[in-house]
Chain A
Amino acid sequence: MPCRLPAFVLVLVLLALAGRAEPALAQVPDGEHLTPAEVVALLVAESTREEGRRELARLSASLPSDRATLWIRLLATGEQVPGATLGALAPVVLATHQGEHEAALDGVTQVMAGFETDETEGVPPPVLALAAEIADRLDPATGAALRERILAHAPEGMEAGEAALRLARYLLEATESAPRGLRILEDLIVAAPDHPIAPEARRLRQEALARGIEPEPADPSGDLP
Chain B
Amino acid sequence: MTPVTRTSLEATVEGCRKALRRRVRGGALLAGAAGLGLILPLGWLLAGARGWERGSPLPLLLWLGGGLLALVIVRRLLRSGGRRLDEGPLASEMERNASLPDGSIRARLELARGTDARGSSTLARAGEEALLERLPHGVEAMTGETHLQVTRTLRMGAMGALAVALVALLLWTLSPDRSRTAWSGLVAPVAVLLPPPLPELVVEPGSLEVPRGEVVEVTIVAEGRREVTLEWESPGARPGEETLVLSEGLASASLPPIEAEVVYRVRAPDGATTPDFTIRPADPLLFGDFLLEVDFPDYTDLPPQRYPHPPGELDLPVGSLLRVSGRMEGRALRGGEGETGAVRLRDSEGRVALEMAIEADHFEGEWRPTASGELHWEVAGDTPAGARLPQPLQIHLVEDQPPMVALETEGGTRTLPGDLRLPLEIVATDDWGLDWVELEVVLESPEGVRDEPIRDRTPTENRREVALRPVVDLSGWSLEAGSVLELRARAADRGRGPGVTESPPIRLHLPDAGSLREGAREGIQRAEEELAEIADRARSAAESVRERHGQVEAGRAGGRSGGQGGQDFDARDGLRSALEDVGEVGREVERLRDDLARARENLPSEGELAQRIEALEALLAELEDEEMEGALQALLRSLTEGGEPSSEGVDSEAIEAWAEAMEDRMADAMERFRQAALESAFEGAGEEAGEIAAEQAELQEALREDDPGAAGRQEALEARAEALQERLDALERELRQSGDPEAADALRDAGEALETAGDRMGEAAQAARGQRSDDAGERAERAREEAERARDTLDEAQREWRETREDRVREGLLRGAHEALALSRIQGEIQEDLRAASSSDRDRLLAREVVLAEGIRNLGSQLLPALREAGVGTRPFTRVLDEASLAVQRSADGLRTGASPRAGPFAAAGRARGALNETALLLLATLDRLESEGEGEGESEAGDLPDELQNLAGDQEAMLDDARDLAGNPGDDGASARMEELTRGQDAVAGALGELAERFGGEEDGDPLGEMAELAREIAEALGEGRLDGEVMARQEELLDRLLDAGRSFERGVSEEREGTPAGEFERPPVRALPQGLLEGSGIPLPSAEVLRGLPAAERRLVLDYFERLNRRDPEGRE
- Asked if A69 and B821 make an inter-chain contact with CB atoms under 8 angstroms apart, the answer reads yes
A69-B821, A69-B917, A76-B924 known; A198 vs B815 contact (CB < 8 Å):
no
A60-B917, A72-B920, A79-B924 known; A196 vs B855 contact (CB < 8 Å):
yes
- Asked if A61 and B921 make an inter-chain contact with CB atoms under 8 angstroms apart, the answer reads yes
Q: How far is the CA of A200 from the CA of B851 in the complex (A)?
A: 6
- Asked if A195 and B858 make an inter-chain contact with CB atoms under 8 angstroms apart, the answer reads yes
Which of A73, A76, A162: most chain B Cβ within 10 A?
Answer: A76
Chain B nearest CB from A50 CB (Å) reads 10
Chain A nearest CB from B587 CB (Å) reads 40
Instruction: Report if A5 contacts B (CB, 8 A).
Output: no
Interface size on A, residues (CB 8 A): 30
Instruction: Report if A121 contacts B (CB, 8 A).
Output: no
Q: How far is the CA of A198 from the CA of B820 in the complex (A)?
A: 13
Q: How far is the CA of A60 from the CA of B921 in the complex (A)?
A: 8
Instruction: Report if A159 contacts B (CB, 8 A).
Output: yes
- Asked if B910 and A65 make an inter-chain contact with CB atoms under 8 angstroms apart, the answer reads yes
Instruction: Report if B325 contacts A (CB, 8 A).
Output: no
- Asked if B924 and A75 make an inter-chain contact with CB atoms under 8 angstroms apart, the answer reads yes
Kindly list chain B residues whose C-beta atoms are within 8 Å of the C-beta of A162: 818-819, 822, 825
- Asked if A66 and B831 make an inter-chain contact with CB atoms under 8 angstroms apart, the answer reads yes
Instruction: Report if A111 contacts B (CB, 8 A).
Output: no
A66-B828, A79-B927 known; A203 vs B848 contact (CB < 8 Å):
yes
A162-B822, A195-B858, A197-B826 known; A57 vs B921 contact (CB < 8 Å):
yes
- Asked if A196 and B851 make an inter-chain contact with CB atoms under 8 angstroms apart, the answer reads no
Chain A nearest CB from B576 CB (Å) reads 43
Chain A nearest CB from B89 CB (Å) reads 134
Q: Mark A69-103, 1 if CB is under 8 A from B, else 0.
A: 10011011001100000000000000000000000
Kindly list chain B residues whose C-beta atoms are within 8 Å of the C-beta of A202: 851
Kindly list chain A residues whose C-beta atoms are within 8 Å of the C-beta of B859: 196
Q: Mark B810-843, 1 if CB is under 8 A from A, else 0.
A: 1100110111111111101001000000000000
Interface residues of B: mostly helix, strand, loop or mixed? helix
Which of A68, A79, A129, A199 meets B855, CB within 8 Å? A199
Instruction: Report if B913 contacts A (CB, 8 A).
Output: yes
Chain B nearest CB from A83 CB (Å) reads 14
A57-B921, A196-B859 known; A76 vs B824 contact (CB < 8 Å):
no
Which of B810, B825, B856, B924 meets A69, CB within 8 Å? B825
- Asked if A196 and B913 make an inter-chain contact with CB atoms under 8 angstroms apart, the answer reads no
- Asked if A196 and B821 make an inter-chain contact with CB atoms under 8 angstroms apart, the answer reads no
Which of A65, A158, A194 meets B814, CB within 8 Å? A158
Residue of B nearest to A66 (CB): B828
Kindly list chain A residues whose C-beta atoms are within 8 Å of the C-beta of B861: 194
Q: How far is the CA of A76 from the CA of B848 in the complex (A)?
A: 26
- Asked if B917 and A72 make an inter-chain contact with CB atoms under 8 angstroms apart, the answer reads yes
CB-CB contacts below 8 Å: A44-73 with B: 53, 57, 60-61, 65-66, 68-69, 72-73
Residue of B nearest to A58 (CB): B921
Instruction: Report if A161 contacts B (CB, 8 A).
Output: yes
Which of A66, A72, A165 meets B924, CB within 8 Å? A72
A57-B925, A80-B814, A203-B848 known; A196 vs B918 contact (CB < 8 Å):
no
- Asked if B858 and A194 make an inter-chain contact with CB atoms under 8 angstroms apart, the answer reads yes
- Asked if A161 and B831 make an inter-chain contact with CB atoms under 8 angstroms apart, the answer reads no
CB-CB contacts below 8 Å: A175-210 with B: 194-200, 202-203
- Asked if B824 and A65 make an inter-chain contact with CB atoms under 8 angstroms apart, the answer reads yes
Q: Mark B781-820, 1 if CB is under 8 A from A, else 0.
A: 0000000000000000000000000000011001101111
Chain B nearest CB from A195 CB (Å) reads 7
- Asked if A199 and B858 make an inter-chain contact with CB atoms under 8 angstroms apart, the answer reads yes
Chain A nearest CB from B816 CB (Å) reads 9
Q: How far is the CA of A71 from the CA of B854 in the complex (A)?
A: 25
Q: How far is the CA of A199 from the CA of B854 in the complex (A)?
A: 7
Instruction: Report if B862 contacts A (CB, 8 A).
Output: yes
Residue of B nearest to A133 (CB): B825
Residue of A nearest to B815 (CB): A158
Instruction: Report if B852 contacts A (CB, 8 A).
Output: yes
Kindly list chain B residues whose C-beta atoms are within 8 Å of the C-beta of A60: 917, 921
Q: How far is the CA of A25 from the CA of B910 in the complex (A)?
A: 32
Residue of A nearest to B847 (CB): A203
Chain A nearest CB from B620 CB (Å) reads 30
Q: How far is the CA of A203 from the CA of B291 in the complex (A)?
A: 123
Residue of B nearest to A162 (CB): B822
Kindly list chain A residues whose C-beta atoms are within 8 Å of the C-beta of B811: 158
Kindly list chain A residues whose C-beta atoms are within 8 Å of the C-beta of B856: 196
Q: How far is the CA of A201 from the CA of B920 in the complex (A)?
A: 21
Chain A nearest CB from B629 CB (Å) reads 32
Which of A73, A79, A165 meets B821, CB within 8 Å? A73
Q: How far is the CA of A161 from the CA of B854 in the complex (A)?
A: 16
Kindly list chain B residues whose C-beta atoms are within 8 Å of the C-beta of A165: 822
Which of A72, A76, A203 meets B851, CB within 8 Å? A203
Q: How far is the CA of A61 from the CA of B821 in the complex (A)?
A: 13
Kindly list chain A residues whose C-beta atoms are within 8 Å of the C-beta of B921: 57, 60-61, 72, 75
Residue of A nearest to B918 (CB): A61
A66-B913, A79-B924 known; A158 vs B851 contact (CB < 8 Å):
no
Instruction: Report if B914 contacts A (CB, 8 A).
Output: yes
- Asked if B920 and A76 make an inter-chain contact with CB atoms under 8 angstroms apart, the answer reads yes
Q: How far is the CA of A131 from the CA of B924 in the complex (A)?
A: 20
CB-CB contacts below 8 Å: B841-878 with A: 847-848, 851-852, 854-856, 858-859, 861-862
Which of A66, A159, A161, A162: most chain B Cβ within 10 A?
Answer: A66
Ordered by A's residue number, 27 sampled pairs between the chains whose C-beta atoms are within 8 Å are A61-B918, A65-B913, A66-B828, A68-B917, A72-B821, A72-B917, A72-B924, A76-B920, A158-B818, A158-B819, A161-B822, A162-B822, A165-B822, A194-B858, A195-B819, A195-B858, A196-B819, A196-B858, A196-B862, A197-B819, A197-B823, A197-B855, A199-B855, A200-B852, A200-B855, A202-B851, A203-B848
Nearest 3 CB-CB pairs, A to B? A65-B914, A199-B854, A162-B822
Q: Given contact pairs A133-B825, A196-B856, enumerate 14 new A-B contacts (beta carbons under 8 Å).
A: A57-B921, A57-B924, A57-B928, A65-B824, A65-B913, A66-B913, A69-B821, A72-B817, A158-B818, A162-B818, A194-B862, A197-B819, A199-B851, A200-B855
